[in-house]
């Protein structure tokens, strides 16, 4: 059954420079237990999408479209209703746990608070449950750690606390926005593994956001590649990695370090920068960086072509893009 159904989501931000079209015509479906990766460079609308799901968009944002959670449109909910939904159905973890944790309270107090508020536990029950959750996310010595303040923990442990906090509401959907970017590589793997285990064991759905295609490949069943605020390629992870099609996805792939590449080979990057969301180009937003671009690309937005039932690509030059899959577009 479809748990989350995002239909034609648009997010516009009012800024001093004008209206920024942060997200355009976005569609997402997520079943119970399914895992989705959102990937793309900085500024392409990944976090805005996540914040919209959580009802946490900045005040200068306006939205259109539908955000259906079990059939109910979240965009129509009041702040109070969204607060209940955040406490019971969806949870989000962020890149930098230190900014999301309160530095003046112990981690125990911070985990106990939602348990008391949303699950109605007594103080003693909440304390025991908080200890169990800390243990569940792999924090050694929970009885002692529960009395620590965030600054007494390492970055990896703080992220584990954030995950415990997220779990405290037994969410149907966990949204993880660059959850490991601020951490050392070995700790990154541990945290991703923890998220994987918890998602499996709790039967949660996962939306994992990363600028790193490798992280997405290893941790999700479906992928949405975002560029300039919209999904340029979507599909099952296996399929997309077998058949990287959009020139932008091919560029992201070329920019990934590969095993056996040798130390002296420089990583390829996609030349140019992401589009200005206030003055979006008229046609395909990737035109000025795309090795395959022609006149038609700048003139009209390409349609979403359905490659098969689980793979869509938004490109005017599908045939050429398919031919270029071997990797010659970026060298």
Out of 2, 8, 60, 306, point to the residue binding ligand ATP (CB under 6 A): 60
66, 37 Cβ separation under 8 angstroms: no
15 binds ligand ATP (CB under 6 A): yes
Residue length of the chain: 331
**Residue whose CB is less far from Mg ion, 23 or 313:** 23
> Could you say which of ligand ATP, Mg ion, none residue 43 binds, taking C-beta under 5 to 8 angstroms by partner kind?
ligand ATP
44 binds ligand ATP (CB under 6 A): yes
Task: Measure Cα distances from 112 to 101, 163, 327 in Å.
Answer: 13, 14, 51
Query: Mask of contacts with ligand ATP, 204-243, x by CB under 6 A?
Result: -------x--------------------------------
CA gap 68, 2 in Å, rounded = 9
> Could you say which of ligand ATP, Mg ion, none residue 9 binds, taking C-beta under 5 to 8 angstroms by partner kind?
none
250 binds ligand ATP (CB under 6 A): no
As measured in angstroms, the least distance from the Cβ of 296 to ligand ATP is: 26
Out of 4, 6, 48, 183, point to the residue binding ligand ATP (CB under 6 A): 48
Out of 13, 85, 130, 217, point to the residue binding ligand ATP (CB under 6 A): 13
Assigned token pair, 133: 């959750």
Task: Measure Cα distances from 104 to 1, 66, 127, 148, 155 in Å.
Answer: 42, 38, 18, 10, 17
**Residue whose CB is less far from ligand ATP, 114 or 228:** 228
24 binds ligand ATP (CB under 6 A): no
210 binds Mg ion (CB under 5 A): no
Helix (H) or strand (E) holding 251: helix 247-254
DSSP 97-111: HHHHS-TTS-HHHHH
Assigned token pair, 131: 């200890």
Residue with tokens 């006149």: 295
Return the closest-CA partner of residue 24 out of 247, 284, 210, 271.
284
Residues of this chain, 31-50, that bind Mg ion according to CB under 5 A: 47
Angle at 70 between CA 312 and CA 28, to 5 degrees: 15
Return the closest-CA partner of residue 306 out of 249, 215, 239.
239
Q: 3-state DSSP call for residue 177?
A: strand
As measured in angstroms, the least distance from the Cβ of 48 to ligand ATP is: 4
Assigned token pair, 290: 């795309």
179 binds ligand ATP (CB under 6 A): no
> Could you say which of ligand ATP, Mg ion, none residue 20 binds, taking C-beta under 5 to 8 angstroms by partner kind?
ligand ATP
311 binds ligand ATP (CB under 6 A): no
Residues that bind ligand ATP (CB under 6 A): 13, 15, 20, 22, 40, 42-48, 58, 60, 211, 277
Residues that bind Mg ion (CB under 5 A): 47
């Amino acid at each position: 059954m479809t748990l989350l159904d995002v239909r034609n989501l648009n997010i516009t931000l009012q800024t001093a420079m004008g209206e920024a079209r942060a997200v355009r015509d976005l569609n997402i479906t997520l079943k119970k237990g399914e895992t989705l990766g959102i990937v793309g460079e900085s500024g392409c609308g990944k976090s805005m999408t996540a914040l919209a799901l959580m009802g946490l968009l900045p005040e200068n944002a306006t939205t259109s479209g539908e955000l259906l959670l079990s059939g109910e449109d979240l965009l129509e909910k009041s702040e109070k209703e969204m607060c209940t939904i955040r406490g019971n159905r969806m949870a989000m973890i962020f890149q930098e746990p230190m900014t999301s944790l309160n530095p003046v309270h112990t981690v125990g107090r911070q985990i106990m608070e939602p348990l008391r508020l949303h699950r109605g536990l007594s103080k003693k029950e909440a304390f025991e449950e908080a200890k169990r959750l800390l243990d569940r996310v792999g924090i050694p010595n929970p009885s002692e750690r529960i009395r620590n303040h965030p600054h007494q923990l390492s970055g990896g442990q703080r992220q584990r606390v954030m995950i415990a906090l997220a779990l405290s509401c037994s969410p149907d959907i966990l949204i993880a926005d660059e959850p490991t970017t601020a951490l050392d590589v070995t700790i990154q793997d541990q945290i991703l593994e923890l998220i994987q285990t918890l998602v499996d064991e709790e039967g949660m759905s996962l939306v994992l956001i990363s600028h790193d295609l490798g992280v997405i490949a290893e941790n999700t069943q479906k992928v949405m590649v975002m560029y300039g605020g919209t999904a340029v390629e979507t599909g099952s992870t296996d399929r997309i990695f077998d058949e990287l099609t959009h020139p932008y996805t091919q560029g992201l792939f070329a920019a990934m370090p590969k095993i056996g590449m040798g130390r002296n080979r420089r990583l390829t990057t996609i030349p140019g920068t992401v589009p200005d969301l206030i003055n979006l180009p008229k046609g395909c937003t990737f035109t000025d960086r795309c090795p395959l671009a022609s006149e038609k690309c700048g003139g009209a937005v390409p349609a979403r072509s359905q490659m098969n039932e689980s793979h869509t690509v938004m490109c005017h030059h599908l045939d050429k893009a398919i031919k270029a899959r071997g990797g010659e577009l970026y060298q």
